[in-house]
Chain A
Amino acid sequence: MTEQATVNPSNPVKKRSQLKAIWFRYRKNKLAMFGLALFLSLVLVAASSGLFLDYDTQVIEQRMRERLQPPSSEHWFGTDQYGRDVFARVVWGTRISLFVGVFTVTIALTVGTLFGALAGYYGGTVDNVLMRIMDIFLAMPGTILAVAIVGALGPGLVNVLLAMAIARIPQFARIVRSAIISIRGQEFIEAAKACGTRDGRIIMRHILPNAIGPIVVQVTLHMATTILGVAGLSFIGLGIEAPTPEWGSMLSEAKEWMRYHPYLMVFPGVAIILSVLSLNLIGDGLRDALDPRMKN
């Protein structure tokens, strides 16, 4: 049945039924559904945190006399070294991390897709040149590339976002390219070419929609690694500027108090794990749902 759908991609009815089938398979996967529920609740937390938390007075205001308090009914997660409420900061941090995850992947995806599509569709010299450049980027450890770029641009939300995105472009380019190569030779593309359709149109209308499966899976998984990566960068002091409650920088601050106030360490870490876990579960579930043969 998948074959039918691929051959006739622009047929909306078929497309919808394909989506339905995917959703049907996805729904049966309990872990994947748990991941989706977890992710949606994180999105909900992120979206609603602005309603019940005031950034200026609850997230970043310092109350030095209340510093370093353990969890209590007043401060559920305790307070940090400047007397800020850790619960409020962890909750607000959801916004930051999801935002960074989404935007980094969007940028990397857009640019990576462009490169990958060009390379995959045209092949030959274009492919060679683009892919060799991507190889160079891929050969460098991603973290150090990001560290170097942040070094050049300076720390800060936008720069970290850019650095992470640049480090991820080659990976998306690769995936898109291989997806396209596998489709390029198929008959309906030949047919479209024979009809004189422009290259750009073929790529946008015929090839990309059919390569979307693996891309979506990679998008979720890369959002997970991006959240981890940004937390890591912030942890070594190259991340998002103070006093933004980013989870990695909260952990970095907590490190020197680890021995005396270990609770500071626990909550941001758990928050990272939950968000990354939810995305990993979704990614896995999607992969299985998109390609039933892979599932055992």
Chain B
Amino acid sequence: MLRYVVKRLLLMIPVIVGISFILFVIMDLTPGDPARSLLGEYARQEDVDALREEWGLNDPFAVRYGRYLASAIRGDFGKSYRTNIPVVQEIISRYPATMKVATLAILFAMAIGIPVGIISAVKQYSLVDFGSMATALLFTSVPPFWLGLMLILIFSLMLRLLPSVGTDSWKSFIMPAAALAAAQMATMTRMTRSTMLEVIRQDYIRTAKAKGASQRYVVLKHALRNALLPVVTVVGIGFGNLLGGSLIIENVFGISGLGTLMVNAVKSKDSPMLIASVMFAALVGGLVNLAVDVLYTYIDPRVRSQYVKG
């Protein structure tokens, strides 16, 4: 098991390095000059040149990338072109907001998706089932940013119940999380429903029922346990999606999290910031996936035996 985890962690390294390379290339192709962008319209050309020299922007691509890698290995990911603050520091200060929204969204999605999925499965072909499946389909088709705007319109502008932006209280996270959660909630509902249906038909459930166990007991004790496995996967994948999806939601709700940081970095050609933050997002995504895989083995003994073999 430990060997497996270590192997997976080691495999992440080339991916992260690859990301830095790809983004380095993309940012290199992007027109515009971060030095001029920072110095403003009235800057003298010599000042712009001096700053470019200071940042080492005048060296050839290979030299710049090599230098970046060399210092990244030593843990130095550079300073932001825009704020002159070490990018790692900036990422650490921005990350909690994004994390909170994503976590809350997953919690929303689970809190609603799993029970609704179970009910739909148990009452298959009922009106409830049809209704919740239709709602789920609708939710997967709603752009999160539009949903977010509609929530602002209703709950902030019209009902004045919730703050529409910022990160100062837990209330400010409700709407962004809800907007992000909608699609995940739908996936979760559908996934729970279909696995539950599969499980319900299996022999041991029938046996339990035949033995006179109550419907409720069978569903919660036997069926749900087995249905959870794919749901964990959805949580894992969903979490990764949420981190990426928060990009536009952060824009809607004015949250200065990781997504805003990335978009601004692209806009101001702040390569050190962009590369480090995308690497960071990828790292977190990778770790969550790994955690999900490890979690699998604890939920399902069959999976564990596979790892022992491999």
Contact = CB atoms under 8 A, between A and B. Distances in A.
Given A273-B138, A273-B141, A280-B141, A147 B262 contact: yes
Contacts of A144: 244, 247, 259, 262-263, 266, 278, 281
Interface stretch (A41-49, A119-127, A202-210, A254-262): A254-262
Given A258-B153, A296-B124, A296-B194, A148 B26 contact: yes
Contacts of A228: 143
A235 B145 contact: yes
Interface of A is mostly: helix
Interface in B264-282: 266-267, 269, 274, 278, 281-282
A111 interface: no
Nearest to A232: B248
Contacts of B133: 31
- Name the interface size band of chain A: 35 or more
B146 A255 contact: no
A281 B26 CA distance: 36
B30 interface: yes
A151 B30 contact: yes
B157 A148 contact: no
Nearest to B244: A141
A142 interface: yes
- Name the interface size band of chain B: 35 or more
Given A235-B145, A265-B150, A273-B141, A135 B245 contact: no
B127 interface: no
Contacts of A296: 124, 194, 197-198
Interface string A143-171: 11001110111100000000000000000
Given A152-B27, A259-B153, 5 more contacts: A141-B247, A148-B274, A231-B146, A255-B149, A265-B153
Interface of B: 14-16, 18-19, 22-23, 26-27, 29-31, 124, 133-134, 137-138, 140-143, 145-146, 149-150, 152-153, 157, 194, 197-198, 240, 243-245, 247-248, 251, 259, 262-263, 266-267, 269, 274, 278, 281-282, 285-286
